[in-house]
Structure 1
Amino acid sequence: MSKILIRGAKVLGGEAQDVLIDGETIAAVGTGLSAEGATVVEAEGQVLLPGLVDLHTHLREPGREDSETVLTGTKAAARGGWTAVHAMANTFPVADTAGVVEQVWRLGRESGYCDVQPIGAVTVGLEGKQLAELGAMHDSAAGVKVFSDDGKCVDDAVIMRRALEYVKAFDGVVAQHAQEPRLTEGAQMNEGTVSAELGLGGWPAVAEESIIARDVLLAEHVGSRVHICHLSTAGSVEIVRWAKSRGINVTAEVTPHHLLLTDEMVRTYNPVYKVNPPLRTERDVMALREALADGTIDIVATDHAPHPGEDKDCEWAAAAMGMVGLETALSVVQQTMVDTGLLDWAGVAERMSVNPAKIGRLDGHGRPVSVGEPANLTLVDPAYRGAVDPADFASRSRNTPYEGRELPGRVTHTFLRGRATVIDGNLT
C-alpha cells in the first residue's frame, strides 16, 4: 500500500487530525485530508504516537532460540507498538564481536517487523575482565553505539572507567546493570520485610545504589555518557537526580513492571514474579513513577526477558529471572502514568520514543509526527480494556506477570516506514 490515510487520530493525545502516509514518509498532517486510492484507517478516539523505541530487549538469538528468536521477538515488538528495539548482548555466543552483532542486525533487517539495533558487550564473554571489541562493533555494519553486559554488572571500576573512555571517542554510551555482586550472593528477592517473612535471600537496595553512585562519578571524571538500566529503588532515583543537578551525563530507564508490581507479589511463590532487579516496595514504585514524570528517569524500557516454560515452571529458587514485556508495556504505562494523571500522551511519546532514540543515537526513529518525517507510527486505542492472555502473544515465551489481569489500551496499528506491520491488532 503506497498511500495510507489515518483519519481523526489524536496526535500525541491532542486535537484530532488526519495523517497521510505516502510511501515511507508522512506526506500531510491536517484536517479534512483526502487522497485518491489511499487505504483509509478510521482512528476516531485513538491516539497516534511516534513508533516506540525499546532500549532494552532480549531477543535470545543466537543460542537460545527455544526462548525467542529475532523474528518472534520483533513480531511481539510490532504487536506492542515498537518500531525499533535494541537487542542485548547476552546471547550464545555473546555479542562481543563485530561478527555476532552483524548477525543480529541482519536478522532484524530480514524480519521486517521492526528495526533491530544490537547492543554490544562491554567485556569479552560478559566476564568483566577484558574490554570487548568496542571499536570494531561500532565500525561494523551494525554501527553499535550502546554497550552493556546486562545480566551482569561491570563491577570492576577500572574496566568501567576504560569502557567509558573508549566509547567517548565515538559518542557511545555504556548501559550499566547496577548490581554489586558481593552484596547479592544468593539473593532471591528484594531485601525487606517480605523477604524476612518468606525466608528468601534478600537483595538490598544498596547493591544497586552503590554501583550507580560510583558510575556517575566515573562518568563525570571521564566526561562520558553512562546509562542506568532498569533502575528500581527510591535511593537510586535520588542519586540520579543529584548527578543530573551536577551536569553529569547520565540517563536512566525504568521497566513497566517496576512501575506497577511490588515485592508483595512474591508471597505467592510464583516464579513469574522473579526478576532482576527484583520487584521492590510500594514506596519504591511511587518514587519511580514520580521520577519518570519529572524527567529524572528518562525512558521506559521493557527488559523483555523471554524464557521457555521449563525455566519458569519450577520451584522459586531454581527459576530463571525475567519477564516478557514487549506486548504489554504501553498498557502498563497507560495504567500507571496516564490514567493516574502523571503523564499525558505527549509525555509518553517522549519517554518511550523520543528519548530512547536520542540515547541510542538511532536515526529515523523518535521523530515528530510531521510532514517529511519517516512514517514510523503507533496507533493506540486508550479506551480498550481487556484481560491479558499469554496464549495470544506473538512472543515465543509466555512468562508474563499479567496473565488474567485487566489492562487498559490496545495497539491497533503499527507502521514501519509506511508499511503496516499490525492492522487491527493483528500482524500482517
Structure 2
Amino acid sequence: MRLCIKNARHLEAPVDLLVDDNKIMTMTPAGHHAAPEGCEIFDACGLVLMPSLIDAHVHLREPGFEYKEDVASGLEAAARGGFGAVMCMANTKPVNDTASVTRHMLDRARQSHPHGPRLLPIAAATIGLKGETMAPLAELKEAGCVAVSNDGRPLENTELVRRIMEYGADLGLILIDHCEDPHLGRGWIMHEGDVSGLLGLKGQPPAGEALQAARDIMLAEYLDIPVHIAHVSAALTVDIIRWAKERGVKVSAETCPHYLLLDETALENYSTQSKVSPPLRTAHDREALREAVKTGIVDILVTDHAPHAAHEKDGTLDEAPCGFTGLDLALSLTWALVDEGVLTESDAHRLWCRRPAEIFGLPWNGFAPGDPADFFLFNPEEAWIPSRETMYSKSLNTPFLGQTLRGRVKHHWMGGRKLF
C-alpha cells in the first residue's frame, strides 16, 4: 500500500512524504510531485513530521508490578508520546535474568501492540540484580535482549564489571551502567548541598556518580570496549565524559528531560513527586547538562520512565520510592527546550532517534529511501495538562502533573500502518 503525507513540516520546511511497502520512498518539498495514482493521501495540515523516537531507558514493571504499569499500558503511553521503540530495564519480578522472562515480555508486547511500538528488553547484568554472579547473557541475547544493565543497583565489584563488559561485547550487548557509589550518602533523599542542609534532608554528593562513571570509563579505555553511562545528573560527570571522549574512549551517555528543566529546589516543599534517582541537582548542574546535550558530550535523551502507584508516592520523603513517569511527557518537555532555544528540532531528532539507534545498533528512520516508515505528526502548539484524563500510563508520578505543557502527538504510523 502506498501512502502520501501531504503538507507536513520537517526541520522548518514544508514537505510531502511518500511511503511504499512499509518503507520510506521519498520526502520532497511540499507540492513538488503529485501523489501517485491509487495512493492514500493524508493531509498533515502543517503539523510537524518526526521520526518515531527511541527510548533507551524505561521500566514497564511487568512481570510482577502490574499495579504500577504493564506492557500494554506502557506501550500505549509510548505510542502516544511518539516512541516507536522502548528499551526495558530488568527490574521486574522475577528479574529479567532468564530467557523465559524475556520471552514473556516480548509475547505480551506482541499481544497488546502487534504493530508497535517495539519492546526491546535489557538483560540483567547479574542474577537477581544482586551484583554477585553474571547473568546468562548469551541465553538472554538469543531470547531477544539488546543491551545489559544492573538497572538502579550499583555494580560495586570492578572485576565483575570487567567480565560483564567483555562478555557483553562479544555478544553485541553494551553495558548501561547506573553510576553511584552506594557508600557515599547512603540513605540519601536528595542532592547534597545548600538546599538539603536547609531542609534537614540527607543528601547524595555528585562525586558518588562521577566516581563510578570514571571507573567505567577507565575500564572502557583499558579494554577498548564501549560503555554507556545511564541518566547523568552532575556537571562533574559531564566533565569526566568530555575528558574521556577527547581521549577517544568508547563512552556514550544519557540524561533525562527533568534534569534539563528542574533542580534541587523542586524539593523545597518536601514533594515526593520530585524524588528521583539520581537526584535533581543544582542549577549549575542543570546548565552543564544543557550544554552537554547540545554539544553531544551527552549523546541521548531517555525518559527513565519509572511509574509508581499513588499510594507509594503519598508517603513521606523517607518512604516514597524514587522515579518519575515520562513516556507521556517527554516530547512536550523536549519541545519546551526547543522553544527556549536550548535545543533545535534537529537536536531532538539526534537525541531521541539517530544516536540511540547508532549506540545500540537499532533500525531508525532518517527519512531516506528504504528507511522504516515509522513516524508521527506532532502539534507543538497544542496546550495540555498532565492528568488522569490526558495520560496513558497507569501512574501519574511526575512533578509536572497539573502544569500546562505544549505539544501533542496527533497521529502515529509504524511500518506505514497508522496506530492512531
Fold-level similarity (TM above 0.5): yes
Identity %: 40
- The alpha-carbon deviation at position 47 of structure 1 amounts to 1.7
Instruction: Specify the alignment match of 1:426 in structure 2.
Output: none
From the superposition, tell whether residues 238 and 390 of structure 1 become closer, same or farther in structure 2 (CA, over 3 Å): farther
Instruction: Specify the alignment match of 2:401 in structure 1.
Output: 403
User: TM-score with structure 1 length normalisation?
Assistant: 0.94
Q: Is the 8 A contact 2:365 2:375 kept in 1?
A: no
- Name which of structure 1's ranges 188-197 and 407-416 shifts more when overlaid on structure 2: 407-416
Confirm or deny that 1:44 pairs with 2:40: no
- The alpha-carbon deviation at position 105 of structure 1 amounts to 1.9
Q: Partners in 2 of 1:44 and 1:388 — Cα distance?
A: 25
Instruction: Specify the alignment match of 1:55 in structure 2.
Output: 56
Instruction: Specify the alignment match of 1:151 in structure 2.
Output: 152
Q: Summarize the alignment of residues 281-320 of structure 1 with structure 2, pairs less than 5 Å apart.
A: 281-320=282-321
Instruction: Specify the alignment match of 1:133 in structure 2.
Output: 136
Q: Is the 8 A contact 1:52 1:378 kept in 2?
A: no
Amino acid at match of 1:374: P
Q: 1:248-274 CA distances to partner (integer Å, 9 max, x unpaired)?
A: 111000111111111101011111111
Confirm or deny that 1:215 pairs with 2:213: no
Instruction: Specify the alignment match of 1:235 in structure 2.
Output: 236
Q: Is the 8 A contact 1:82 1:414 kept in 2?
A: no
- The 3-state SS of whatever aligns with 1:333 is helix
Q: 1:159-218 CA distances to partner (integer Å, 9 max, x unpaired)?
A: 111111111213320000011111131100010111101111111101100000110001
Q: Is the 8 A contact 2:387 2:396 kept in 1?
A: no
Gaps of 5+ in 2: none
Q: Summarize the alignment of residues 150-299 of structure 1 with structure 2, pairs less than 5 Å apart.
A: 150-299=151-300
Q: Is the 8 A contact 1:384 1:409 kept in 2?
A: yes
- The alpha-carbon deviation at position 293 of structure 1 amounts to 0.2
Q: 1:105-157 CA distances to partner (integer Å, 9 max, x unpaired)?
A: 222222224000000010110000110011111122x1x23101111111211
Q: Is the 8 A contact 1:49 1:369 kept in 2?
A: no
Task: Give the superposed CA RMSD.
Answer: 1.4
- The alpha-carbon deviation at position 328 of structure 1 amounts to 0.7
Q: Is the 8 A contact 2:51 2:353 kept in 1?
A: yes
Amino acid at match of 2:360: G
- The alpha-carbon deviation at position 406 of structure 1 amounts to 1.8
Instruction: Specify the alignment match of 1:378 in structure 2.
Output: 376
Amino acid at match of 2:118: D
User: TM-score with structure 2 length normalisation?
Assistant: 0.96
Q: Is the 8 A contact 1:5 1:20 kept in 2?
A: yes
Amino acid at match of 1:286: E
- The 3-state SS of whatever aligns with 1:323 is coil
From the superposition, tell whether residues 39 and 390 of structure 1 become closer, same or farther in structure 2 (CA, over 3 Å): farther
Instruction: Specify the alignment match of 1:425 in structure 2.
Output: none
Q: Partners in 2 of 1:126 and 1:184 — Cα distance?
A: 21
Alignment coverage as a number of residue pairs: 415
Q: Partners in 2 of 1:111 and 1:7 — Cα distance?
A: 30
Q: Is the 8 A contact 1:5 1:34 kept in 2?
A: yes
Q: Partners in 1 of 2:25 and 2:166 — Cα distance?
A: 42
Amino acid at match of 1:138: K
Q: Partners in 2 of 1:387 and 1:27 — Cα distance?
A: 37
Q: Partners in 2 of 1:85 and 1:277 — Cα distance?
A: 21
Q: Partners in 1 of 2:388 and 2:404 — Cα distance?
A: 12
Q: Is the 8 A contact 1:189 1:279 kept in 2?
A: yes
- The alpha-carbon deviation at position 73 of structure 1 amounts to 0.2
Instruction: Specify the alignment match of 1:7 in structure 2.
Output: 6
Gaps of 5+ in 1: 423-428
Instruction: Specify the alignment match of 2:125 in structure 1.
Output: 122
Q: Is the 8 A contact 2:84 2:414 kept in 1?
A: yes
- The alpha-carbon deviation at position 35 of structure 1 amounts to 4.3
Q: 1:250-308 CA distances to partner (integer Å, 9 max, x unpaired)?
A: 10001111111111010111111111001111111111010000000000000000111
Q: Is the 8 A contact 2:411 2:418 kept in 1?
A: yes
Q: Partners in 2 of 1:3 and 1:67 — Cα distance?
A: 40
Q: Summarize the alignment of residues 22-41 of structure 1 with structure 2, pairs less than 5 Å apart.
A: 22-30=20-28, 31-32=30-31, 33-41=34-42
Instruction: Specify the alignment match of 1:349 in structure 2.
Output: 349
Q: Partners in 1 of 2:150 and 2:414 — Cα distance?
A: 29
Q: 1:326-367 CA distances to partner (integer Å, 9 max, x unpaired)?
A: 01101111112x1122322122111101111122212x3x22
Amino acid at match of 1:357: A
- Name which of structure 1's ranges 288-297 and 412-421 shifts more when overlaid on structure 2: 412-421
Q: Is the 8 A contact 1:88 1:150 kept in 2?
A: yes
Q: Which runs of 4+ in 1 moved over 4 A?
A: 35-39
